[in-house]
Amino acid sequence: MPARDLFRNERYTLPHNGKPFTLINVSRGCPYSCIFCIAPVYYGKRLRRHSLAYVLDEIERCQTLHGIDQFLFWEEIFTLDREFGVSLCEAILERSWKISWATTTRADRVDLEFLQLMRKAGCDLLGLGVESGEQTILDVAKKQEKVEEVVNAVALCKQAGVRTMGHFIFGLPGETEASINKTIEFGLGLGLDYLQCYAAVPYPKTELGLMAKRNGWLTSDRWMDFDFGGASVMDVGTIAPEEVSIARARMFRSFYLRPGYMLRQAKMLLSHPRQLAQASKFLNWMRSSKVSAS
């Protein structure tokens, strides 16, 4: 059990509501083979998870000992072991815990019934690895997913009342100006609540890392440059690394600066003064970080 008493838990708050928040590690490992992903390399391909009793105990301790009721269930694919996920949600409901949590999954591993149960149990944000709107890029990346499955997953989340965060990667092998345009158009049309974009990073021991080495795609060998939130360190030959940074900035701007989106966010912030203060801190952080610089 993590020694949370060593932390000043009140310092770790969510940017949108200012409430203390923490991570609960539920499982590790992913059986998929996406070429860019460090998770199977880092955690292995076999799913290993804590017992239901352990996870429940940790959630309860966070609430009673540390006053934390906002969580991120930290695992690669929350819905991979559906039976476990259902048991966890049912146990939360049985205890009548008023908690709120976010987690991540794959678009092809969701169904309406499970999403509705997750929502009832407090899930209000689900991260989905979309990566690209171009099927050929998903195929080269060995994502084993169809773009239609992403469209379906976002629609199901909406129906269940679970907000969505889409994760996108630019600069994967085969990326071109046309595929970037397609991905941006796809991402904007999905109806996501939030999105995050990254540069593809050829991490050592991933298949992408091996491809980059073999094909001479690396533009830097400085480990500190291998940052998915920074400039691209890979030239895959079909798109310049600088274009990857421009694409990220374009997608961020096109999504977050849409008048309708800004109006909705402004209304939400004005109705919650605490959120307004937090949002201003968040914007300052964005301004000073690589997110806005790239």
| Site residues for ligand SF4 per CB under 6 A | 30, 32, 34, 37, 39-40, 76, 106, 129
DSSP structural state of residue 234: B
> In the structure encoding, which two tokens stand for residue 278, read together?
């937090």
Rounded CA-CA distance 31/51 in Å is 19
> In this structure, are strands 21-25 and 70-74 parallel, antiparallel, or unpaired?
parallel
Residue with tokens 């991402």: 187
Choose between 79 and 245: whose C-beta lies nearer to ligand SF4: 79
| Nearest distance, CB of residue 28 and ligand SF4, angstroms | 10
Find the distance separating the first CA and the last CA of the chain, reported in whole Å.
39
Choose between 47 and 99: whose C-beta lies nearer to ligand SF4: 47
Choose between 97 and 203: whose C-beta lies nearer to ligand SF4: 203
Rounded CA-CA distance 282/230 in Å is 18
Choose between 34 and 92: whose C-beta lies nearer to ligand SF4: 34
Choose between 12 and 203: whose C-beta lies nearer to ligand SF4: 203
Instruction: Evaluate whether 180 touches 131 at the Cβ level (below 8 Å).
Output: no
- The DSSP H or E segment spanning 287 is helix 273-288
| Nearest distance, CB of residue 34 and ligand SF4, angstroms | 3
Q: Extract the runs of DSSP E, i.e. beta strands, from 75-183.
A: 100-105, 123-131, 163-170
Rounded CA-CA distance 203/207 in Å is 8
Choose between 106 and 119: whose C-beta lies nearer to ligand SF4: 106
> In the structure encoding, which two tokens stand for residue 6, read together?
């060593």
| Nearest distance, CB of residue 46 and ligand SF4, angstroms | 12
